Amino acid sequence: MIQLPAGATQERTQKVLDQVTDYYLNNEKANVESVFTVNGFSFSGQAQNAGMAFVSLKPWEERSGDENSAEAVIHRAKMELGKIRDGFVIPFNMPAIVELGTATGFDFELIDQAGLGHDALTQARNQLLGMAAQHPASLVSVRPNGLEDTAQFKLEVDQEKAQALGVSLSDINQTISTALGGTYVNDFIDRGRVKKVYVQADAKFRMLPEDVDKLYVRSANGEMVPFSAFTTSHWVYGSPRLERYNGLPSMEIQGEAAPGTSSGDAMALMENLASKLPAGIGYDWTGMSYQERGDAANLLI
């Protein structure tokens, strides 16, 4: 999984993906069959600063010896790819049970149980990550599985002004959607093939924030009213992805037990650290960890 700083462009992400591909196909060519990369998507969410690389290993009979195992390949990749400065590259193995989690290790959900707000939850998450980093002998690769807050352009509509000008909210939304995102109109036949028609503002007229003020919407009496007459805009800082767990705001944290530490001990340590967070912040387990914690009391030795 690859994640660059918030606001990084897709071009920067592609450069990191190319570095990852080059590493596996050259440094691990004796073990790697192929590498498939995806730009703009990861298990954390969809964004220009996110990416994934899926590494296919050669058959087991061609990778004899512990040094050629999947875990050995992952360990070496962590050491080498950790040197990349432009972003975080986190190699991990797939979960033991397909569709139950996205990686090996534990899946921990930090939950805002008291409605403290996004900022308080983020602060608690960072506090927990800091405490986990102080236990390298028990916990490794403890990381947030989500997208960091990023700059967002917020457009506020003065509904009273819009109503006075005879402009409906539905027409405002439709104009923004069509100009910036595009709207399907119909189909036409071109040399025997059906092609779709979309209406959208030309690229040069939707590149800057101030371009929104230049849009017009038709009022009830047929006049064209500029957006600047009833809207204000400004930049804000917020989360591109709002997560919930059991209906409550949450943030997912993933990690692994250090070599020599059992998964149960690692999970117990995470629970102990989470108990030191401010009141109103709770936690739960998900994925394989949920099954492990739920069945722990039923294990017989």
On whether both 21 and 159 belong to a single domain, the answer is no
Phi then psi for 104, rounded to 5 degrees?
-70, 170
On whether both 268 and 289 belong to a single domain, the answer is yes
On whether both 201 and 248 belong to a single domain, the answer is no
Last residue of one domain, picked from the residues 52, 70, 91: 91
The mean predicted confidence, pLDDT, of the chain is 91
Last residue of one domain, picked from the residues 52, 76, 91: 91
- What is residue 301's predicted lDDT score, i.e. its pLDDT? 53
Tell me, what CATH number does 5's domain have? 3.30.70.1430
CA–CA distance from 295 to each of 102, 190, 197, 290, 298 (Å)?
20, 61, 55, 9, 5
- What is residue 298's predicted lDDT score, i.e. its pLDDT? 55
On whether both 127 and 249 belong to a single domain, the answer is yes
- The number of domains in the chain is 3
Tell me, what CATH number does 262's domain have? 3.30.70.1440
Bridge partners of 36? 54
Region 147-162 average pLDDT: 92
On whether both 50 and 72 belong to a single domain, the answer is yes
On whether both 107 and 251 belong to a single domain, the answer is yes
Last residue of one domain, picked from the residues 43, 74, 91: 91
Q: In the chain, what percentage of residues exceed pLDDT 90?
A: 72
Query: pLDDT tens across 240-294, in order?
Result: 888 899 999 999 999 999 989 999 999 999 999 999 999 999 999 998 888 888 7
Instruction: Find the domain containing 277 and state its range.
Output: 97-148+239-301
On whether both 297 and 246 belong to a single domain, the answer is yes
Q: Which of 15-19, 246-250, 295-299 is least confident?
A: 295-299
Query: pLDDT tens across 83-142, in order?
Result: 999 988 989 887 766 656 556 789 999 999 999 999 999 999 999 999 999 999 999 989
